Structure 1
């Protein structure tokens, strides 16, 4: 049985704890760690973790618990690398919440620690473990939509003004960025998983509704790929209704999550005919419907994959390299928005935006952070978006 330590017991830890409890015969949560002890005790009581020990620091936990198999990092982003690297050096596998780290430099340090330890490093990207995206990828990989020409990614979320009152949120130093980093990371990871890594990025960002935060609450970016295709991505925490979607336009058909297949047919003058390519649409719908549903989805799906990867001695579906790719795209968005220039990928180690502290030094402060609340009242597991766990 694999022994689990969860470091950071804020709201996102609910999703992790609930997932591990689904696999009780395979793993056991033996340690909870948080700088606020009342949070660890609340989780312990809420989930009946009677034999679980609590600690105030990951250093104390690692020194006291030599038999930990997996350290699950659910802390604010600015300490992900420190905790992950310490756990890997201690001989533990690591699952780390998004974003992977506060900089590309820290990502590479985590990857180096993983390679030196020989242990597993996996970065949370729960959208890959949804039927909607799993089936969309199957439809895309079928080739029936043709060559990809354009993708539209709407990472639309809504957060109230007080969201940024939490002590670590809304600052470049502690949170590392705004909605682009901490919300759109899910969709940015998904689109690079679907379409691959672009060659160039151009972007703009703003703060239009949260004057208690240094960071952006709205950004728009365009990715250009080596074959000329474009992705248009909007990241937001100002969209009421939180309608999220990915639409991929191939030269033969349109496919999307939530699912829709549409294939236009050209008239002699180039305009679309009223009748469309019903056969191609039927074939795409068949691929989508016939792709078996995932046994486990979202965080539970990814934790199932992590447990399997350890048990079967194989790489997880989302490893450190994959986690870094998502952060590299986000870093490119920020660099482009800040420098007002087109950014070429990959970002080299001598770039100031690659280095730890570079973003914090160069980023604009839209507003001064005006509140610093130590803890919010618990609201349970964080909602992860609409229709992402369903193929509709």
Structure 2
């Protein structure tokens, strides 16, 4: 039991996104303290410690040494996706709770190993899904849950990002083996998680993949998927070729349309079936009132999720986003890849005997759109967060 004492935090991986975790824990300085940084690159953890003025923090180059030397309550894992499963399982088996960056892992087999390790060792596992901790998305979820728009008929989800070719020069990006996939896995994972959170799991997926603008990368930089529900369809565009990064979620219900960026439209029919002027003003007013009544979150983004995970660690409860949630998003990504590679409709859930369930399947089967032509240890400049989240 942690009681009321300060929780001891370790950060594994000290690249750009680790700073977001460090900042998030800093918002809860009365509850927790970062005591250790770990990075396999010699001197990298030391450099981050010095840069951020974390003089009392100890540094390590091997997770084995970190776990053996420190009495940790929680670790954030902020390393490349291909390493998530191994590091997460090691921490859980050492009795440490885990917050792991998105995407959870490149394969469902690895996700299931992570979920099983959490259960077997009675540990908490949370997967980063920071967009659930945004006021605009929480408002949209509340409106959908209210039933005011009626049964959903259609959703358009635009996970629109833009990255230059230099983005894929970083050593672990741009290959199926080290990055696990392209924009569908590493960027649209945010929007696919939101889609599953708001609409539930689809019954089938079809998709197409391409590399439209990044000749130094094996992986896709654009995919378009259609998710099939009982009586509804959702279109999901995953991209790093969209100038302006204008991201959106538009949900059409039987009685009204709502979206983020925020917009409400509620049509009603004339006797001939065409939309009547003015629409259903009463319903639109109710939706606007419900949205206006949303209680702002105390912390948004990573900080919001970190606050929830710290509470879960203290209270030994399920976090808002757990390993099962992270797995659900990976299952959607996997289905999109299978549909695009095999050029067929993929039924969900994916069974464990499906070839694409296992680790390494995409490395073996996915197309190499182009050959990766550069591999650098670091890229200059800061990470920019686009219009909604970190990557």
Shorter-chain TM-score tier? over 0.9
Q: Could you give the per-residue CA deviations for residues 11-50 of structure 1, whole angstroms, max 9, x where no partner exists?
A: 1111100000111111111111112233312321232211
Tell me the residue number matched to 1:70: 74
Tell me the residue number matched to 1:300: 303
Tell me the residue number matched to 2:376: 373
Give distance in 2, aligned partners of 1:313 and 1:352.
36
Alignment of 1:344 onto 2:371 = no
Q: Could you give the per-residue CA deviations for residues 96-117 of structure 1, whole angstroms, max 9, x where no partner exists?
A: 0000012100000000000011
* Partner SS state of residue 238, structure 2: strand
1:235, distance to aligned residue in structure 2 (A): 0.4
Tell me the residue number matched to 2:250: 247
Contact residue 82 and residue 180 of structure 2 kept, 8 A: yes
Tell me the residue number matched to 1:93: 97
Alignment of 1:124 onto 2:128 = yes
* Partner SS state of residue 173, structure 1: coil
The ranges of structure 1 where at least 4 consecutive aligned residues each deviate by more than 4 angstroms after the TM superposition are none
Give distance in 2, aligned partners of 1:129 and 1:385.
16
Q: Please, which runs of 5 or more residues in structure 1 have no aligned partner?
A: none
Give distance in 2, aligned partners of 1:170 and 1:145.
41
Give distance in 1, aligned partners of 2:380 and 2:109.
34
Alignment of 1:38 onto 2:43 = yes
Number of corresponding residues: 385
- The TM-score, its normalising length taken from structure 2, stands at 0.97
Give distance in 2, aligned partners of 1:88 and 1:378.
34
Q: Could you give the per-residue CA deviations for residues 172-198 of structure 1, whole angstroms, max 9, x where no partner exists?
A: 000000000000000000010000000
Give distance in 1, aligned partners of 2:158 and 2:205.
17
Q: Could you give the per-residue CA deviations for residues 189-223 of structure 1, whole angstroms, max 9, x where no partner exists?
A: 00100000000000001001000000000000000
Tell me the residue number matched to 2:364: 361
Give the root-mean-square deviation of aligned CA atoms.
Answer: 1.2
Tell me the residue number matched to 1:23: 28
Give distance in 2, aligned partners of 1:89 and 1:303.
21
1:387, distance to aligned residue in structure 2 (A): 5.7
In the TM superposition, what are the counterparts of 1:82-231 in structure 2 within 5 Å?
82-225=86-229, 227-231=230-234
Q: Could you give the per-residue CA deviations for residues 105-156 of structure 1, whole angstroms, max 9, x where no partner exists?
A: 0000000000011010000000100001001011111111001000000000
Tell me the residue number matched to 1:235: 238
Give distance in 2, aligned partners of 1:158 and 1:270.
41
